Amino acid sequence: MAHRHPSRLNAEHVTHPSARRLLKAELANCTECRASGDAEALRHPDVLDSLLRGFVLKRAAQWRDRHSRYPTALYDLAPPAELRLLSAPTREAARLCVIGSRSGDRVDTTAALDELEAMTAAERRRVLDDIVDALLEGEG
């Protein structure tokens, strides 16, 4: 049954409790909780959105430079070497995530979520894996 994983998790941009629970399960490498967390994220758009927003804000902060202009798609901030690390469906989603300003207080994921909805389950899963990997980078 449900149990908790006590773990420090920063991921300050990820706010949804289920999304944070999934990240903690990944950090703890708990097969059971990872499976249920993945299933929840793939079933509930608000959980996926929370993870996607956290991903966009984290990468935008890492990838922007003083020449970055807004609004911009996350894709356009990404160094080519970083884009090559992402799966094709994640690159597609990154094209559709719009960052409104340097502070990142306006992030529009609507079009990206629509695109995710239209993807196959396997593609959606690859995007989730990429997002979770990025969010956990530097954690644990």
Residues that bind Zn ion (CB under 5 A): 30, 33
| Shortest distance, position 61 Cβ to Zn ion, whole Å | 30
- Report helix, strand and coil shares of the chain as percent, to nearest 5: 65, 5, 35
* Radius of gyration, alpha carbons of the chain: 15
Residue 119: CB atoms within 10 A of its CB come to 15
Nearer Cβ to Zn ion (29/62): 29
| Shortest distance, position 9 Cβ to Zn ion, whole Å | 14
Residue 13: CB atoms within 10 A of its CB come to 18
| Shortest distance, position 3 Cβ to Zn ion, whole Å | 5
| Shortest distance, position 8 Cβ to Zn ion, whole Å | 16
What tokens does 53 get? Answer: 């927003």
Look-up: residue for tokens 């609507």? 110
Nearer Cβ to Zn ion (33/47): 33
Q: Please check whether residue 139 is in contact with residue 10, taking contact to mean a CB–CB distance below 8 angstroms.
A: yes
Nearer Cβ to Zn ion (30/73): 30
Nearer Cβ to Zn ion (33/113): 33
